[in-house]
């Protein structure tokens, strides 16, 4: 933890990497809509 406080750029790199892995916003809502659509048909 102290390393991140001493080197905030490392923390920013970790944030950026996690954001890139997260994917497009709204994916969970889109997936839920697909499931509801399938259940209704």
Q: Which residue has the tokens 């916003």?
A: 25
Q: Do residues 11 and 4 touch, judged by C-beta distance below 8 A?
A: yes
Quick one: pLDDT at residue 5?
87
Which bin fits 25, alpha (ψ -120 to 50), beta or left (φ > 0)? beta
Tokens of 37: 């659509």
Quick one: pLDDT at residue 38?
95
Residue range 1-39, pLDDT digits in tens: 888 889 999 999 999 998 888 877 788 899 999 999 999
| Nearest by Cα to 11 from 22, 3, 19, 21 | 3
Burial class of residue 25, CB neighbours in 10 A (0-12, 13-18, 19+): exposed
Quick one: pLDDT at residue 22?
80
């Amino acid at each position: 933890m102290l390393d991140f406080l001493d080197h905030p750029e490392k923390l920013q790199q970790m944030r950026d990497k996690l954001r890139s892995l997260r994917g497009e916003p709204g994916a969970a809502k889109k997936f839920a809509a697909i499931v509801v659509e399938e259940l209704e048909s």
